[in-house]
């Protein structure tokens, strides 16, 4: 059946007021065969490994607004054009960025330990002479939150708060999700109780002397205090002294700049659609990274995977009905400026669904969606194509509770766009996340083609689907 004929039948069925016999909610056999062929070809992909290697070795760390970030935007556009994507562009946006300076911290005698540490993103500086104070110890953010906020009454008052929140190793990242509020909200909770500064145990699952950075969030009306993370072994050493009842004194010196005006970019490339070209299937990653490593797992891998997936569609699949658009967002790590700018610009355009690869380079083990119930049979059929690649689909309510990555999560919530989640195995991800160890040598390049194949297949099928995935169907 021709596309046009099918549309006419679907429109007639809608006009007749029925959930139509004529409006198919399954893919045609030929489409599923084409998707299978696309998967087979994408499993032989070598572009993702090449792209990731180039990004890490030619550019490396690329905090939003930096010179390296601009180089990465130029590199990404060249890579997209080279791979045959259309309408390649970098959309600039002006933002205010935070810039790391030098930082050090140590436990003062009698214990004496120079700490392996890193400032948290957005941290204000200490005075030049630093801050020296006794430590107020909390085993978790919840314990700090349970402490009184009455002025002058908290243990935190006049001290450096330390939160020893541990991060559990999990495949799906829920251990990180449970621990990360200590980093994001710890500084505000400590400052509300009169603290001078905040230290945290790194939000990470490794046991090496490396510190994990990441963004904190200040609140208007609450004093901004300097904040830093120490390595897990250093936190354990402090915990041992703490357990022995020995009072700990810390000295912290931290330099940083806030609110520096800069420019970053969303880099976009497309595989143009045909009869439904005005509708977009968005697959994405973020181009920026923290400054400590090379941004290999976060999120160079995602950049390589979705770019290579779109290239596979352009090269190997029948031209899609809807437009497949790759977006490499700017400044995911410290503010979601790229996601918000994308929403400002394209928020009125119909999006079939949105998804993001931002959980390292591990294999995809699960497909989940957020689509209207009528579209679920199509997701089920996608899952059948992915199943031989080791991807599970649960066929229960949970299957439609997917959460896309951070940027597309912002867009999903803001615009009520349907979404897809291709869950990667994140068991080892938080060993290196936001650290000096986020480097190319930590990536198993052999896991990339399975990711490319899953993204290519789901994006192409979403572009072919006989119905819209959103709340308002066609
Ligand atoms: Zn990321």
Query: 246 C-alpha to center of ligand 1: Å?
Result: 39
pLDDT at 395: 84
Q: Does the pLDDT of residue 1 top 60, yes or no?
A: no
Q: Does the pLDDT of residue 12 top 60, yes or no?
A: no
β-pair partners for 227? 198
Q: Does the pLDDT of residue 57 top 50, yes or no?
A: yes
d(CA 200, CA 216) in angstroms, rounded, equals 11
34 φ, ψ (degrees, to nearest 5): -65, -40
- Summarised one tens digit per residue, pLDDT across range 76-99 is 999 999 999 999 999 999 999 999
Query: 243 C-alpha to center of ligand 1: Å?
Result: 35
Query: 199 C-alpha to center of ligand 1: Å?
Result: 23
% of the chain at pLDDT higher than 90: 92
CA distances to 13, 14, 15, 423 from 20, rounded to whole Å, are 5, 7, 10, 33
Query: 301 C-alpha to center of ligand 1: Å?
Result: 10
Interacting residues of 177 by C-beta distance below 8 A, sequence separation 6+: none
Confidence of residue 255 (pLDDT cuts 50, 70, 90): very high
pLDDT at 432: 98
Largest CA distance in the chain: 83
- Summarised one tens digit per residue, pLDDT across range 333-372 is 999 999 999 999 999 999 999 999 999 999 999 999 999 9
pLDDT at 151: 86
- Summarised one tens digit per residue, pLDDT across range 148-187 is 999 899 999 999 999 999 999 999 999 999 999 999 999 9
d(CA 32, CA 384) in angstroms, rounded, equals 9
Nearest CA among 182, 197, 73 for reference residue 133: 197
Query: 12 C-alpha to center of ligand 1: Å?
Result: 45
Instruction: Report the mean per-residue pLDDT for the chain.
Output: 94
Query: 467 C-alpha to center of ligand 1: Å?
Result: 31
Query: 194 C-alpha to center of ligand 1: Å?
Result: 32
pLDDT at 8: 43
Confidence of residue 23 (pLDDT cuts 50, 70, 90): low
- Summarised one tens digit per residue, pLDDT across range 190-249 is 999 999 999 999 999 999 999 999 999 999 999 999 999 999 999 999 999 999 999 899
d(CA 42, CA 454) in angstroms, rounded, equals 9
CA distances to 19, 26, 234, 328, 373 from 13, rounded to whole Å, are 7, 16, 66, 39, 18
Query: 3 C-alpha to center of ligand 1: Å?
Result: 38
Query: 121 C-alpha to center of ligand 1: Å?
Result: 14
Q: Which residues make up the environment of ion ligand 1, defined by Cβ < 5 Å?
A: 298-299, 358
pLDDT at 108: 95
- Summarised one tens digit per residue, pLDDT across range 372-388 is 999 999 999 999 999 99
pLDDT at 4: 44
CA 210 to chain centre: 21
Interacting residues of 322 by C-beta distance below 8 A, sequence separation 6+: 273, 276, 277, 279, 280, 281, 352, 462, 463, 464
**Both tokens of residue 232?**
């897990």
Query: 407 C-alpha to center of ligand 1: Å?
Result: 9
Query: 472 C-alpha to center of ligand 1: Å?
Result: 31
pLDDT at 107: 97
pLDDT mean over 113-122: 97
Query: 170 C-alpha to center of ligand 1: Å?
Result: 17
Query: 257 C-alpha to center of ligand 1: Å?
Result: 22
Antiparallel, parallel or unpaired: β 131-138 and 249-271: antiparallel
């Amino acid at each position: 059946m021709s596309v046009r004929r099918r549309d006419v039948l679907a429109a007639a069925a809608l006009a007749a007021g029925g959930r139509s016999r004529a409006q198919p909610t399954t893919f045609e056999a030929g489409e599923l065969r084409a998707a299978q062929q696309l998967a087979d070809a994408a499993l032989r992909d070598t572009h993702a490994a090449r792209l990731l290697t180039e990004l890490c070795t030619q550019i490396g760390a690329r905090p939003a607004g930096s010179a390296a970030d601009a180089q990465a935007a130029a590199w990404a556009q060249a890579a997209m054009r080279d791979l045959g994507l259309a309408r390649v562009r970098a959309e600039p946006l002006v933002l205010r960025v935070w810039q790391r300076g030098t930082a050090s911290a140590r436990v003062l005698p009698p214990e004496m330990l120079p700490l392996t540490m890193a400032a948290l993103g957005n941290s204000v500086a200490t005075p030049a002479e630093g801050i020296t104070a006794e430590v107020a110890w909390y085993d978790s953010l919840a314990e700090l939150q349970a402490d009184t906020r009455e002025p002058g009454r908290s243990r935190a008052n006049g001290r450096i708060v330390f939160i020893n929140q541990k991060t559990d190793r999990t495949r799906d990242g829920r251990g990180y999700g449970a621990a990360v509020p200590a980093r994001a909200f710890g500084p505000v909770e400590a400052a509300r109780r009169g603290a001078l500064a905040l230290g945290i145990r790194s939000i990470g699952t490794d046991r090496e002397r490396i510190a994990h950075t990441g963004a904190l969030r200040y609140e208007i009306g609450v004093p901004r205090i300097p904040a830093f993370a120490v390595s897990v072994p250093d936190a354990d050493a402090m915990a041992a002294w703490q357990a022995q009842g020995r009072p700990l004194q810390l000295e912290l010196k931290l330099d940083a700049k806030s609110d520096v005006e800069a420019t970053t970019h969303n880099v976009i490339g497309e595989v143009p659609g045909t009869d439904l070209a005005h509708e977009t299937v968005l697959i994405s990653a973020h181009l920026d990274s923290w400054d400590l490593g090379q941004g290999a797992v976060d999120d160079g891998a995602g950049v390589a995977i979705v770019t290579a997936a779109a290239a596979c569609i352009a090269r190997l699949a029948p031209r899609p009905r809807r437009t497949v658009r790759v977006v490499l967002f700017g400044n995911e790590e410290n503010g979601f400026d790229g996601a918000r700018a994308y929403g400002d610009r394209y928020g009125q355009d119909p999006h079939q669904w949105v998804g993001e690869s931002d959980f390292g380079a591990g294999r995809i083990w699960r497909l989940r969606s957020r689509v209207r119930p009528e579209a679920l049979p199509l997701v089920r059929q996608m899952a059948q194509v992915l199943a031989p690649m080791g991807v599970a689909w649960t066929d229960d309510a949970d299957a439609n509770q997917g959460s896309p990555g951070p940027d597309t999560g912002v867009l999903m919530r803001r615009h009520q766009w349907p979404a897809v989640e291709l869950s990667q195995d994140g068991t080892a991800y938080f060993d290196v996340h936001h650290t000096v160890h986020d480097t190319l040598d930590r990536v198993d390049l052999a896991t990339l083609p399975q990711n490319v194949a899953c993204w290519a297949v789901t994006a192409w099928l979403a572009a072919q689907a006989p119905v819209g995935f959103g709340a308002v169907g066609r």
